Amino acid sequence: MVRWFWQRRRPPGRVLRLRSRDEASDVRRVDFEQLAPDVATYLGQAAYLQLGYVETISALIERSPELSHKESLSRAAGAALLKHQGLVDLIRDRGEDPLRLMLPFREPLDVFRRATHGARALETMLSVHITAGLLDDFYLSLSGSYGDTGRRVAAVLRADADRSALVGIITDAIAADDEWRSILSMWGRRLVGDTLLVARGALRPGGLDLADEKQVEPVFTQLLAAHSKRMTAIGLDA
């Protein structure tokens, strides 16, 4: 399993809270004491994750023979770059070096990205849509642990990811050849497993005990529910 947050120890009392998407209230909040990473780890990993999506989508642009696809993919790459830059600006505003914070996560996140690259471009497009959606939601669930910094991160992550461009290419391919439906549904099921393993590893290196599992379950239940909606919207089985 890929581990993202093993480099740093968490200070006691850190709280992970699952918040409603609009952050209007704490009605749907769930607390996880001492499971969230320290803020430097949180920011460094989140910033490098978005940079990785820029790299993946840029590679898809290079491989695509269709000009319309290149243009659509460029919008998604630009949105990921804006998120990366927003997180980097936040790190700098805190007086820290973005490169120093991101460097510990370069190797493990690159391994994760390579593991979720498909043999075909459509599979990789689905990888970006599914893994980025799941992990953006996961980072939003963590954001309530970090006060004003977490609120700024949440604002960055809620910005339009422009992944509808990827979805359009995928749905057009399914409409043209229904065989893609079963291929991509199977690929999506593989992706969600790999991505949730990464998210679980982020909470506590070495695994969670039974009490932790009971606390974590509502968060992952909602992550999976959101994932199912994304897959259904594309016309795929979750």
Q: What is the 3-state secondary structure (H, E, C) of 42-107?
A: HHHHHHHHHHHHHHHHHHHHHHCCCHHHHHHHHHHHHHHHHHHHHHHHHHHHCCCCHHHHHHHHHH
Q: Give the C-alpha separation, 69 to 87, whole Å.
A: 28
Tell me what pLDDT residue 3 has: 44
Tell me what pLDDT residue 25 has: 32
Bridge partner list, 123: none
Tell me what pLDDT residue 165 has: 82
Q: Of all helices (H) and strands (E), which one includes residue 233? A: helix 210-234
Tell me what pLDDT residue 132 has: 93
CA-based radius of gyration for the chain: 17
Below-70 pLDDT ranges, the chain: 1-34, 201-202, 204-209, 211-213
Look at residue 16 and give its three-state secondary structure. Answer: strand
Look at residue 31 and give its three-state secondary structure. Answer: strand
Answer for the pair 158, 210: CB distance below 8 angstroms, yes or no.
no
pTM over 0.85: no
**35 CA to centre of own chain:** 18
Tell me what pLDDT residue 9 has: 41
Bridge partner list, 31: 17
Look at residue 80 and give its three-state secondary structure. Answer: helix
Tell me what pLDDT residue 22 has: 41
Q: Give the C-alpha separation, 123 to 180, whole Å.
A: 10
